[in-house]
Structure 1
Amino acid sequence: MVDASRLRVVIVGAGPRGTSVLERLLARCALSPGGQPGLDIDLIDPYPAGPGHVWRTDQSPLYLMNTPSFFPTLIPDQAMSAVPLTGGSFDDWRRQQRSLPDSDLTAAETAELAALEADGFPSRALYGRYLRRTFAALLEHAPSGTTIRVHATSATRVRAAVRPVVSAGALPGAPEQTAAGQFVVELADGGALAADHVVLALGHLPARLNPHQQQLAASARKLGLRYWPPAVPNDVDWDEVPGGEPVLVRGMGLNFFDVVGQLTQGRGGRFEATGEQPGEVLNYLPSGREPLILAASRRGAPYRAKAALTTYYPQGVGLRFFTEEAVSALTAAGIQPGFDQDLWPLLHRDALWAYYCTLARSDDGAALRSGFLAELDTLLSHSTAAGSGWEGDVDALVARSVPAAFRLDLPGLARPFAGRSFASHAEFDDAVETYLQADARGSAAGETDPVKMAIGVLNAGRAVIKALVADGGITGESWLGGLRGWFEAFVEGLASGPPALRMEQLAALARAGVVRFVGPDPVFGVDPEDGTFTAISPWVKAEPLRARSLVEALAPANLVLMNRSPLLEGLLADGLVRPRIMIAADGEPVVTSGLEVTAPPYRPIGASGGRTEGLYVLGLQLSSVQWGTAIAAESRGKYRSGYRTLQDADLIAADILAS
């Protein structure tokens, strides 16, 4: 029988975000143990609590994190009123394990920890070990009067348990909404849980294919071809990809390197050090079981690799113009800034200054004429108003001062082969290998490389933008047309890339003939007569490349209306949640990727327009009100956005306990 005197909270999803809500609930309960009611917390996840789906400890060690050891944390280390009960950052845990390892660490994990430094990139499995241990420590330190239960199953439905009542904030004439304390969470194993509050920390969800992907999948079934749709890499059995024949791989972002790793090292191939210059430090020794990987993406090349830095943002250069103070001044003046006209001009200045300052300190910058930096500083600082003509003045200064080979071309960084044609696939392969080698050299140079420092400043600017977006400080037209319209893909290709090791490995695979490249702007199709998938680039003057296998090196689409989750589909059908709609610059409504929610603590807006009390959203389904929702919380974050997800969890916990 349910004890009505106890507060019942169900957290759907026990990965990092669900665990963050648990941690905040426990920390806040401990502040006033005598004044809090009994608290029952149920966490629901078919995957292990702590690691969740993505960070499972049983996955291949070839899957690496995209951030170095010093970056991620599950436990807040600033800006919280309730002190954590236990635990620390991943790097804290890494150091502890090197001196006093847990008894259940495997030999492989112990070896990885022995070699892993603060600026190294851990395997996802090792990060999952940290998450699992932190979750266990939270259970050990739970305040008295608190019960925590983990259900290793899926939630299939969240429904109202009693008669609805009108919620605060409902629109006039709107139907009634659900009151707090009146949910039933149905489970895949047949059970059901009563809840006063439900937190949706759903993470990555399965998604339906887009029309083109559906056509490829249907053609594959008809012609007996092999098609792998977008997926979390560890969910795929890569042994099913046949060796010794071509396989088309579409997408060269982060999932691409996971796919390539499983089809090469995962099949017994080895990299050996050669001791040569960056970009050529590895040779690849094939096992003979690899396929011929035909790699394709819109850019024609992978994301640029991260620079070798001891901090997440460069120390030698930083934001001068696009600062949090400058953005606050805009909002204080009553301006809801637009991205293209108000924000990008400031960040563009910072990228230029970081690049040319770094160039001037290098050997390549020795030819800069005297006074160049002073003139550049004057032009950049003269006016921050839109339309001031500063860009033309800077271009003129650069044209007369900087040799053409050393001028910054930001669009060219993101599209390195734009406007170039290639006479053959071999010619394009050579061009990509040259690009990979140059990018690896730039990463190795770290703070002395002008390109990497310009990218580092763009990455810092991205952190400021994330905070601005989460605070509701950007127009809908600007979100759709500028931020999501062009800047997101631009900056991700520059600043969200893999560890530099991946660039070295890909260059070695290209030299070994294991990986070839299709070309920019590829067009995919099916040749029913030949019985193959085809891919051709308009910039490579050659016949289409063909394969009987095609892998989508992409994660499932994070679009709430494309999801295949019975839970989320049920919430939408029942009217407890709805997608967010924005109005584009042409006045047309656009259904966005995430849910419509209130201001923090992010209660969803239901179909009627009123908020659904007692229900909270955290994580990827906030992608219509937050930008960059997938990245982990940053330990000792420099910018507010670095620990935003922990603050969001804290606000949810506070709201739950206040009830």
Structure 2
Amino acid sequence: MENTQSIRAAIIGAGPRGTSVLERLLARSAAHRAGSAGALKVHIDVVDPYPAGPGHVWQPQQSRLFLMNTQSFYPTLIPEDPSLPAPLTGTSFDKWRERQQRDPLPSLTADERAELAVLESNDFPSRALYGRYLRSTLEDLLDKAPDGVTVQFHETSAVSVRPAGDGTFDVGLAAGETLRTGSVVLALGHIPSRLNPEQRELQAAAEHLGLQYFPPAAPADVDWSRIPAGEPVLVRGMGLNFFDTMVQLTEGRGGKFVTGGGRLEYEPSGQEPLIIAASRRGTPYRAKAALDGYYPASVTLRYLTEAALERFRRAGIRPGFDHDLWPLLHRDTLWAYYSTLVRAQPAAVPDRAAFLAALEEALHPHAHSAANWEDSVESVLAVHVGPRHRLDLPALAAPLAGRTFGSRTELDAAVVEYLLDDARRSALGEDDPVKMAIGALHHGRAVLKTAVADGGITDASWVAGLRGWFESFVEGLASGPPALRSEQLAALARAGVVSFVGPDPKFGVDRRTRLFTASSPWVEGPPAAARTMVEALAPGNRVSANDSPLLGQLLADGAVRPRLMMTAEGAPVQSTGLDVVPHPYRPVAANGAVTEGMYVLGLQLSSNQWGTAIAAEAVHPGYPAYRSGQRTLRDADEIAAAILAG
């Protein structure tokens, strides 16, 4: 008689992470069926109020003006790791794009076909089109589901998960139904977050004074039509959400960008508001360089390498970020900059061979003189490189630091100059020393993700170094938009549609005039003022500040807890993510016990993994395939294996 095993699992969250778990469950179920005489019956409940595949963030119906932050060749839902069970179907986004150009699906809309017709591997797709890929891939997976596996989708929210007393869980749905299941996967993605005290004050003042306040939100969720044309609007934040705000309030209202006189210009429709933009740096993120791959091919890490990490492991050293890892990446950044400088601008360094030899010697991590290496580098630079060609990393991240401006008009001119210079450097790609220094940081992030995961560095180092200063520093340099966005922003500023507040802005409310205000201590003149304010920020990814009924219930019941980290002074600090044990990742309950049968994937792992928001990276032939690139897909596979093991 055939032995039949019956397994039930619930996946809460049907965006890319939840869909990855589903894909792995299907692949592993098929592999089990092919290699075992025993039958396997698997039922999977997928719970999400948004359609499965795209989930909340990647809805195919959203504005096509919202672009991905990575090029077509980058993302994938399907693992390409030969050590994992083979996928049933599916490809990377780029291969899907090529297939649709050759043989488009009949279900593609006219807008999707139009975008695909001109989209190349190096272009930045719309988030809507990536959502279409996710949905298409899910449909293919369901068509190939092995016998004995059933999948049921529940387009509603999960509001509770509680143990049922027999090793199973009851999942309560907002629609009133309760699902009994053996395993639960928390693939919650971006969850609602409570406002911080300052934001609550601004929101309360807006309600009292009849102003409009838009709290942090996914851009596709915002009703942009509520922002009046012709009036000022204060926008806080100049990261990626800012560019979504910018384009929706300009191109999204009928304005046009045209090329004239060798530069991009903006032709207003008359329906735009006056956008007044503010951020801590006073400038937006630097734009991405024009490259053929995700990482610059001319940059190879020499110091922060897998071999260096292995040396730490063999020596029994748990590295610190500031003292052990950053000095290695700093060296790589300097080498990338100066080696590019002598190649692309040979006149900048008269004796190139002598300079590179001396620089290499100064950068070498000597065992007993590591503390003095920066002085050695400065000595080499003093001999060979003039001040104009030196790399100033802090200035790259904060280009307005130390400057004062007599007016906002003067500030606007400086920001436009910065934007155009940055776009020019992006266009030079591998031949720009600044962009190659940033390219080294970009390579380094991939190595750091592996180095710091699962307690790879000390808590104190994570809190004060990695998250304390490096994260915001590197994001401002290496996580920027396509260069086109910088050119567009410069055109909007020249057209008078966008102006800027300046660094270190202070926001408030003038109750007498009934206006939001923003001012910078480095810019003279009256504060900027508006009746409308937009927080161009993503909702905070902090589990302790969540506004999710499900996560709130799990925390209140003690089934999960935030992870505490210890500072250098020995003080406990509540970190952003859940406390989990690997592998696979299972949450730690308030009493310290591991909640078996419950698994965590994605953003809520932000205290064990760094850089959890970015998609899995497709293998790009000829370019590095870092272990961290498909980490989330391996995490999903580990979860699937544990579920099917029963």
Q: What TM bracket, shorter-length normalisation?
A: over 0.9
Deviation string 1:177-226 (CA, Å, 9 cap, x unpaired) is xxx4x101011111111100000000001110000101111111111111
Q: SS state of the match for residue 235, structure 2?
A: strand
- Pick the aligned partner of 1:651 from 620, 638, 644: 638
1:81 CA displacement? 2.4
Q: For structure 2, which runs of at least 5 residues remain unmatched after alignment?
A: none
1:491 aligns with 2:494: no
1:539 aligns with 2:525: no
Give, in whole Å, the separation in 2 of the partners of 1:614 and 1:30: 22
1:562 aligns with 2:527: no
Report the more deviating stretch, 383-392 or 222-231: 383-392
Q: SS state of the match for residue 371, structure 2?
A: coil
Q: Corresponding residue for 1:23?
A: 23
1:502 aligns with 2:485: yes
Q: Corresponding residue for 2:293?
A: 311
CA contact (8 A) 2:184 2:598 kept: yes
Give, in whole Å, the separation in 2 of the partners of 1:129 and 1:77: 21
Deviation string 1:537-569 (CA, Å, 9 cap, x unpaired) is 011112111111110000111110111100000
Give, in whole Å, the separation in 2 of the partners of 1:386 and 1:652: 45
Corresponding letter in the other structure for 2:217: A
**Superposition pairs of residues 30-429 of structure 1, within 5 angstroms:** 30-33=30-33, 34-162=37-165, 180=167, 182-274=168-260, 276=262, 281-363=263-345, 365-370=347-352, 371-381=354-364, 383=366, 387-429=370-412
1:275 CA displacement? 6.1
Deviation string 1:496-546 (CA, Å, 9 cap, x unpaired) is 000111111101101101000100000001111111111110111121111
Give, in whole Å, the separation in 1 of the partners of 2:385 and 2:61: 52
Corresponding letter in the other structure for 1:516: S
1:386 CA displacement? 6.9
Compared CA separation, residues 613 and 517, structure 1 to 2 (3 A): same
- Alignment root-mean-square deviation, CA: 1.2
Deviation string 1:419-441 (CA, Å, 9 cap, x unpaired) is 11111111110000000000000
CA contact (8 A) 1:345 1:386 kept: no
Q: SS state of the match for residue 377, structure 1?
A: helix
1:364 CA displacement? 6.1
Give, in whole Å, the separation in 1 of the partners of 2:532 and 2:633: 42
CA contact (8 A) 1:342 1:386 kept: no
Give, in whole Å, the separation in 2 of the partners of 1:647 and 1:616: 13
Corresponding letter in the other structure for 1:348: H
Q: Corresponding residue for 1:622?
A: 605
Q: SS state of the match for residue 513, structure 1?
A: coil
Deviation string 1:113-146 (CA, Å, 9 cap, x unpaired) is 1111101000000000000000001100011000
Count matched residues.
635
Q: Corresponding residue for 1:11?
A: 11
Give, in whole Å, the separation in 2 of the partners of 1:565 and 1:574: 14
Give, in whole Å, the separation in 1 of the partners of 2:345 and 2:332: 22
Corresponding letter in the other structure for 2:322: D
Q: SS state of the match for residue 80, structure 2?
A: coil
1:35 CA displacement? 3.2
CA contact (8 A) 1:359 1:365 kept: no
1:383 CA displacement? 1.8
Give, in whole Å, the separation in 2 of the partners of 1:457 and 1:275: 35
Deviation string 1:465-498 (CA, Å, 9 cap, x unpaired) is 1111224211000000100000000000000000
Report the more deviating stretch, 378-387 or 585-594: 378-387
Give, in whole Å, the separation in 2 of the partners of 1:641 and 1:210: 32
Q: SS state of the match for residue 416, structure 2?
A: helix
Give, in whole Å, the separation in 2 of the partners of 1:360 and 1:19: 47
1:368 CA displacement? 3.6
Give, in whole Å, the separation in 1 of the partners of 2:106 and 2:509: 53
CA contact (8 A) 1:80 1:647 kept: no
1:79 CA displacement? 4.7
Give, in whole Å, the separation in 2 of the partners of 1:5 and 1:325: 44
Percent identical: 62
CA contact (8 A) 1:29 1:36 kept: no
Report the more deviating stretch, 210-219 or 358-367: 358-367
CA contact (8 A) 2:5 2:38 kept: no
Compared CA separation, residues 386 and 514, structure 1 to 2 (3 A): farther
Compared CA separation, residues 622 and 582, structure 1 to 2 (3 A): same
Give, in whole Å, the separation in 2 of the partners of 1:98 and 1:53: 26
Q: SS state of the match for residue 122, structure 1?
A: coil
Give, in whole Å, the separation in 2 of the partners of 1:275 and 1:647: 50
Corresponding letter in the other structure for 2:125: P
- Pick the aligned partner of 1:476 from 446, 459, 465: 459
Compared CA separation, residues 365 and 316, structure 1 to 2 (3 A): farther
1:36 CA displacement? 4.8
Deviation string 1:333-374 (CA, Å, 9 cap, x unpaired) is 100000000001000000000000001012364444341111
Give, in whole Å, the separation in 1 of the partners of 2:193 and 2:88: 37
Q: Corresponding residue for 2:571?
A: 588
Give, in whole Å, the separation in 1 of the partners of 2:39 and 2:409: 69
- Pick the aligned partner of 2:589 from 602, 606, 610: 606
CA contact (8 A) 1:27 1:82 kept: yes
Q: SS state of the match for residue 102, structure 1?
A: coil
Give, in whole Å, the separation in 1 of the partners of 2:437 and 2:56: 35
- Pick the aligned partner of 1:527 from 505, 510, 515: 510
Give, in whole Å, the separation in 1 of the partners of 2:369 and 2:212: 52
CA contact (8 A) 2:290 2:426 kept: yes
1:634 aligns with 2:617: yes
1:407 CA displacement? 0.6
1:398 CA displacement? 1.2
CA contact (8 A) 2:84 2:637 kept: no
Give, in whole Å, the separation in 1 of the partners of 2:604 and 2:454: 17
Compared CA separation, residues 328 and 99, structure 1 to 2 (3 A): same
Give, in whole Å, the separation in 1 of the partners of 2:314 and 2:69: 36
CA contact (8 A) 2:5 2:39 kept: no
Give, in whole Å, the separation in 2 of the partners of 1:600 and 1:411: 38
Corresponding letter in the other structure for 1:352: L
